[in-house]
Structure 1
Amino acid sequence: NKVLKYNLFSDYPPTTDEHDLKTELISTRCYLFIFVLSLILLLLYGTVLPRTKTVIVQLPTQEQYIHLYEQHSQTLICLCSLIAVPFGKLITQFTPTYHEVCSSQFVHDEWIKYLNSEPQ
């Protein structure tokens, strides 16, 4: 009963006119209804809205990058902080085969020193 007679918009001093009193009560009920509805909508919007979480992976491997790209291709950002790859990571198994001239004894330091030395 007290809730039905609650009046936010009462005049001071209180009015005795029935029409004014009824208008104030209807205004109070409309205001409270819209206020509660707005709070409910804000709470629903806050719970339904997707949250974004930023995860930074420092120096990911090629496999990690491919896996992340498959899962998050639309939002993946690669901040290239390195402009070079360490040589050991770039070439892991490398056995060179030299040309015949490059592997001959005539290009070794000992032979070049012998040619540059003065005759005795």
Structure 2
Amino acid sequence: MTIKSLFFWLLEHIYHYNIFIPDENDYDDDDNDDAAKDPAIILKHQLYSTRLYIPLLITILYILILIAVISPQDRSITVSNITPTLFNQLSLEHADTLSCPCSNIAMPYKAFVSHIIYFHPVCSSVYVSKEWIQALYLTYASSLLVNDFRTTAKSQVSQHY
């Protein structure tokens, strides 16, 4: 077989290739169908459908493969012993995709967090201590003199709250 005859053989097979030939059980045996079905017209439609279907299938597969090849692939890169300079550079280049899955803290909190508690002078005075509050509610306050603060302390303090 020469190259020329091989080419014509391939061309003939492509020209007469039909993927829509029905199986034996697929033929319509209805006698109630009034429309005449010419086998030549049916074969012609099947060949046209094949000639349309095969290029469309090849084109769609080509586009899908091209999209799969061109689309960017995600990669995870772990950088150990990162410096603040390198982290700043990476955050500028990859701000929306950069993540830091740290499992332990490299720097203790006390290096950058400090807290000093200051109380209001009244809150830190002796007048809010437990002993002072209990002293306001003396059971024997009525036995003291009238001008003694302890007799009226309870009413004076509760008046302001």
TM-score normalised by the chain length of structure 2: 0.47
Structure 1 residue 2 displacement after superposition:
1.9
Larger radius of gyration: 2
Which of 35, 38, 41 is the matching residue for 2:63? 41
Q: In structure 1, list runs of 5 or more residues that go unmatched.
A: 91-120
Q: Which has the higher helix share?
A: 2
Q: Provide the C-alpha distance between the structure 2 equivalents of 1:61 and 1:45, rounded to a whole number of angstroms.
A: 37
Which of 14, 30, 38 is the matching residue for 1:3? 14
> What are the residue-to-residue correspondences of 1:66-85 with 2, within 5 Å?
66-85=88-107
The 1:12–1:55 alpha-carbon spacing in structure 2 relative to 1, beyond 3 Å, is: closer
Q: Provide the C-alpha distance between the structure 1 equivalents of 2:106 and 2:13, rounded to a whole number of angstroms.
A: 76
Which of 81, 87, 90 is the matching residue for 1:65? 87
Q: Provide the C-alpha distance between the structure 2 equivalents of 1:75 and 1:84, rounded to a whole number of angstroms.
A: 22
Structure 1 residue 44 displacement after superposition:
1.3
Structure 1 residue 84 displacement after superposition:
4.6
Give 2:17's aligned amino acid. Answer: Y
The 1:33–1:68 alpha-carbon spacing in structure 2 relative to 1, beyond 3 Å, is: same
2:97 match: secondary structure: coil
Structure 1 residue 51 displacement after superposition:
1.3
Identity of aligned residues (%): 31
Q: Provide the C-alpha distance between the structure 2 equivalents of 1:12 and 1:53, rounded to a whole number of angstroms.
A: 49
The 1:56–1:84 alpha-carbon spacing in structure 2 relative to 1, beyond 3 Å, is: closer
- Number of residue equivalences: 86
Structure 1 residue 77 displacement after superposition:
0.4
2:159 aligned residue: none
4+ residue stretches of structure 1 with deviation over 4 A? none
Q: Provide the C-alpha distance between the structure 1 equivalents of 2:54 and 2:101, rounded to a whole number of angstroms.
A: 51
The 1:64–1:12 alpha-carbon spacing in structure 2 relative to 1, beyond 3 Å, is: closer
TM-score normalised by the chain length of structure 1: 0.61
Q: In structure 2, list runs of 5 or more residues that go unmatched.
A: 1-11, 25-37, 112-161
